[in-house]
A and B are shown apart, each in its own frame.
Chain A
């Protein structure tokens, strides 16, 4: 395959990139490449040795590597060309890609379309601005996961975890099963950041204490962490004086949020949504730059990998179509606006002419609610939580109700049975 003949270039070979590349091939794109900085396909799935993957997509309870392997095999079967150990360092607004690898050096080319699938990164200690000294032994849960599950090392044996994101809770279980003692999981909010099944199966199963509405107020230790101080927080998330207590530990793991990785998107001038941290897209997952699409965690942080795969397939399919037809027709002209208790909606704009899958998250947990998509449709839901995405399918028939002049549709989540 010559570089100048590439139809679809997918950046990133995690679950999003693999699903997008496979679907792009299946949708008819001839030359599809997938560019990955690591030495193998699969992204973070290799280090996610726990199960819970594919319950929706495959109807099976798979581990991360198992889920990844199914896609890796399909990448090979469908004739997608992987370009491994290759880092994309440049993306321009006219879709010019610059990448480096040891074999070919610095390469530049312009594919007919691009899918952004760079995933996300974890919020670091610096980003969390945790007071205290600067010893070793403070690391993000995902970094710890790589050390424990891939590299063969344990960061320590007495662990405190700040944040109750899924990776943090899963690492609490992993480290316990590796013989470490997890002293506490500390969450600043009144509810956990991850899925309920992880609270039950990772924390309760192993009697790991969970401190809600608490935070780490100080890190101790000059060279290595020796302890952390935790304290209760008030409604404004400020520490309550007199509630501090010191917990001896040798490691502090951070699991307090993920940020879509949009270095390249910014370089290309792609418009980002300040709430999701990812690109603003329409229902084809096309960004404001024609022929550049995005899917998975680079677009918004997902709850389940199954949703990452589905969404990225959509981006891959659109990218293939764009590569072949140079145009996708109707653009997103109707803005979806977050109303009551909605934090964000992806896509941010829709054309109203095609079947559309909406993903959204709420601000606050709520029971017995009605999700209203303007006056197009209403869906009743028993419970919503910020940690779990809501997925709503809008058929093109339903969308016919939308008036041609409509500029904005408000999406809201309201209590059922009156205000």
Chain B
């Protein structure tokens, strides 16, 4: 069992923890991020919708909420951040559809509120909301149900890939000097006068500051240090990804007031989803999909876009929103020092958390300073990352060049998404150690057949590159091995 010392310990490798780590790497500080899984971004970050910059989307909530402020602040940071990290971000805009005359008053109210908050809470760069009429709606979105009367248009909404963003943030943090320890689960925390001793499955870590960014486990970690009471209030949402052939039929995120939505993804698919609002649903940490929610989501999506069919679903998953302290309102972020334990800082981001992450990270710097941490700038900070090549997006000529440089790019492994062996090897070089790790970096198995064809091949490449046997390859670490036995092993055991 090893024992290490670090100044700042970040617990949790989701978008929050990774963004904080990267922000800290701009300073000369000894910081460490621990993640219990084999990869970053694989908890609730993975289950989030890919929608970004939902600033004006939270106009409904009271402006003084921490959450709204962070989301608004974060939305203008997202685009430059993605540029630095070479992560695609596409502004699609959202259309909140208006069903009847009664709902017609809603856009007006929102536009008025937007004007009121602009400059005060909402940064100046944010584009104003607009009302668009029925004809415009039809010309923009000919495949949306024709019965809608118009829409509230928010041009700020964007999509990206939150897992890739998290990976890039962690990679960039590591490059700039932050230690990232994977497969490291915090088991207990004890408080000394000047420092904490954090016990993990891989040894103990002594640190002066703890940043609790454990996502859905934020309550569990806080409890270990008697630092806070979190009421874990899980709310399930449901999302389904549709076959790429439906890719172009919707261009904006379209949503109805029944909490249903349909939107394009950054990868050219279409997805739809439903969030049941503030209704408590599911047990804590239960990420299983259920038929009731799936059926409701499909019904909602078909109401919005009649061309969607159940036959076109290629995958579905549960989104998971964790609320704290729901009495004061919903969608609450908790970013700040524990009420009882100094130098223990919670960073629990509410919905829509992805968008708030860069702002939370910035705020963390001030909080740490207030708690006595000396932070001087890191003169060697390099803000840039180069994302890995995406073979399917290359031009014919670029394809020729990359294969000439490395013939592994001439070997297509995943036929649905046209992913080459070159990309898979690169993903492993960049830290992927599981099937999901490869999948979230370069997409084999994300397509129509969901890895039916490429699964055995990716398993082989992973085993070869990591120097392990194929049986040891897991889907997502832990007990998630894919192949439990060797051929003839069971028969031999019976003899």
Contacts and interface: CB of A to CB of B under 8 A. Distances in A.
A, B assembled together? yes
B353 to A, nearest CB: 21
B396 A129 contact: no
Interface in B394-443: 396, 399-400, 403-404, 407-412, 415-416, 418, 420, 435
B452 A124 contact: yes
Given A125-B450, A266-B245, 10 more contacts: A122-B449, A124-B448, A126-B313, A143-B453, A143-B456, A154-B487, A178-B487, A179-B490, A180-B490, A223-B479
A157 B486 CA distance: 11
Interface in B295-321: 310-311, 313-317
B488 A101 contact: no
A108 interface: yes
B249 to A, nearest CB: 14
A153 B412 contact: no
Contact of B416 (A85, A125, A147, A263): A263
A230 to B, nearest CB: 14
Q: Which 6 A-B pairs have the closest CB atoms?
A: A179-B490, A126-B315, A124-B450, A102-B410, A102-B407, A136-B475
A139 B453 contact: no
A341 to B, nearest CB: 21
A147 B456 contact: yes
B291 interface: yes
Interface string B448-491: 11111101100010000000001100111111111111111111
Contact of B486 (A125, A153, A180): A153
A219 B287 CA distance: 11
B488 A178 contact: yes
17 contacts: A37-B412, A106-B400, A121-B453, A124-B315, A124-B452, A129-B313, A136-B481, A139-B482, A143-B455, A152-B487, A153-B485, A154-B483, A154-B485, A155-B482, A179-B494, A263-B416, A266-B245
A136 B314 contact: no
Interface in A382-406: none
A178 B470 CA distance: 19
Nearest to A37: B412
B289 interface: yes
Interface residues of B, number: 65
B10 interface: no
Interface in A126-168: 126-127, 129, 131-137, 139-140, 142-143, 146-148, 151-157
Contacts, number: 167
Contact of A129 (B316, B410, B485): B316
B450 A108 contact: no
A224 interface: yes
B240 interface: yes
A297 interface: no
A136 B455 contact: no
Interface string B280-296: 00000011111100100
B452 A148 contact: no
B474 A219 contact: no
A410 B460 CA distance: 50
Nearest to B489: A154
A259 interface: yes
Interface residues of A, number: 56
Contact of A224 (B403, B415, B479): B479
Interface string A173-202: 000001110000000000000000000000
B85 interface: no
B79 to A, nearest CB: 31
B197 to A, nearest CB: 29
A37 B482 CA distance: 24
A251 B480 CA distance: 11
Contact of B410 (A103, A121, A156, A223): A103
Given A37-B412, A124-B450, A131-B291, A102 B490 contact: no
Given A129-B240, A223-B480, A157 B485 contact: yes
Given A129-B313, A142-B452, A223-B480, A148 B487 contact: yes
Contacts of B328: none
Contacts of B314: 124, 126-127
A108 B415 contact: no
A85 to B, nearest CB: 6
B61 to A, nearest CB: 31
Contact of B399 (A100, A129, A223): A100
Nearest to A250: B484
Give the most central of B245, B313, B485: most A CB within 10 Å.
Answer: B485
Given A179-B493, A266-B245, A153 B313 contact: no
Contacts of B412: 37, 87, 89, 100
A219 B317 CA distance: 13
A131 B289 contact: yes
Contacts of A137: 482, 484
A100 B399 CA distance: 8
Contacts of B460: 151
A339 interface: no
Contacts of A125: 315, 450
B432 to A, nearest CB: 16
B241 interface: yes
A69 interface: no
A310 to B, nearest CB: 26
B450 A153 contact: no
A31 interface: no
Contact of A105 (B403, B485, B493): B403
A136 B474 contact: yes
B69 to A, nearest CB: 34
Interface string A77-92: 0000000010101000
A154 B484 contact: yes
A146 B484 contact: no
B403 A100 contact: yes
Contacts of A223: 475-480
A135 B289 CA distance: 12
